[in-house]
């Protein structure tokens, strides 16, 4: 993850984050389409999606994550896999905090891998789980 201080938050960084998030939506939908029925044959519920929490990318609490969830027929979680795309948080002495404490900093972390590498990592993880089951 690439770390950014609040001073480094810029329109170009925002555009980069939005581009990554947007570039992942269609391929993730294709992964869901490709694997949902394959896992369903084994009575396993498969889900993958881009989860976004918050509205402003540069406000603490904003978080975008690609999530893979695999649940067995007895509702037992077989696997949960997450790749953080962008996370903005408030920290104090290096620890995440929810309140604005004097001396705290707002920082962000952006995935270092390219969209292609993120998708490859997702596919490799799915295949690994599929083979284990």
pLDDT per residue as tens digits for the range 77-101: 888 999 999 999 999 888 889 888 8
Task: Give SS3 for 61.
Answer: coil
| pTM: predicted TM-score of the whole model, two decimal places | 0.89
Domain range list for the chain: 2-132
pLDDT (0 to 100) of residue 76:
86
Residue 41 has pLDDT above 70, yes or no: yes
Q: What are the C-alpha distances in Å from 70 to residues 45, 74, 110, 130? A: 6, 12, 25, 10
Q: Which residue has the tokens 């984050």?
A: 17
**Residue 98 DSSP one-character state:** S
Q: How confident is the model at residue 32 (pLDDT cuts 50, 70, 90)?
A: very high
pLDDT (0 to 100) of residue 122:
95
φ and ψ of 127, to 5 deg: -60, -40
Helices 115-132 & 11-40 angle (0-180, nearest 10): 20
Q: What is the sign of the dihedral through the CA atoms of 117, 32, 128 and 75?
A: positive
Q: What share of the chain is helix, strand, coil (3-state, %, to 5)?
A: 40, 35, 25
pLDDT (0 to 100) of residue 54:
96
Angstrom distance (rounded) from CA 42 to CA 48: 17
Angstrom distance (rounded) from CA 109 to CA 1: 6
Q: How confident is the model at residue 133 (pLDDT cuts 50, 70, 90)?
A: low
Angstrom distance (rounded) from CA 112 to CA 132: 28
């Amino acid at each position: 993850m690439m770390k950014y201080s609040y001073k480094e938050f810029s329109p170009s960084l925002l555009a980069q984050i939005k581009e990554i998030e947007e570039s992942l939506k269609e391929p993730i939908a294709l992964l869901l389409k490709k694997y949902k029925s394959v896992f369903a044959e084994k009575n396993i519920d498969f889900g993958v999606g881009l989860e976004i929490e918050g509205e402003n990318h540069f406000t603490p609490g904003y978080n975008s994550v690609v999530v893979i969830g695999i649940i067995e027929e007895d509702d037992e979680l077989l696997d949960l896999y997450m790749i953080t795309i962008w996370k903005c948080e408030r920290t104090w002495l290096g620890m995440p905090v929810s309140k604005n404490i004097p001396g705290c900093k707002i920082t962000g972390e952006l995935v270092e891998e390219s969209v292609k590498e993120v998708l490859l990592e997702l596919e490799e993880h799915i295949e690994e789980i599929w083979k284990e089951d």
